[in-house]
């Protein structure tokens, strides 16, 4: 099922290993206004755990995640 939320920004972390997908997402989220949506593409299997945990700890909201080819796309609303 494809999510209909439109992202304001995108980070391509395909091929990067832990902790780089989360670090790239954090850096971009720091530049964004609250309420904006970031789409993170990550192929690291650990991102399935790391990105939701990062969102919980940092006050951002994981809206959706879905397969995107060989990666997973995560939609995060900036808190």
Whether 21 and 28 have beta carbons less than 8 Å apart is answered as no
Determine which one of 3, 18, 55, 78 is catalytic. 18
- Distance, in Å, from the CA atom of 41 to the CA atom of 22, rounded to the nearest integer, reads 11
Answer yes or no: 18 catalytic.
yes
DSSP β-ladder status, 37-42 and 9-13 = parallel
As given in the structure block, the two tokens for residue 50 are 């790391």
Which residues are the active-site residues?
18
């Amino acid at each position: 099922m494809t999510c209909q939320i439109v992202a304001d920004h995108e980070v391509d972390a395909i091929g990067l290993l832990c902790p780089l997908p989360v670090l790239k997402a954090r850096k971009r989220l720091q530049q964004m206004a609250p309420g904006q949506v970031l789409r993170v593409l990550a192929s690291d299997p650990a991102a399935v755990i790391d990105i939701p945990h990062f969102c919980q700890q940092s006050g951002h909201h994981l809206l959706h995640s879905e397969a995107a080819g060989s990666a997973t796309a995560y939609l995060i609303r900036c808190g």
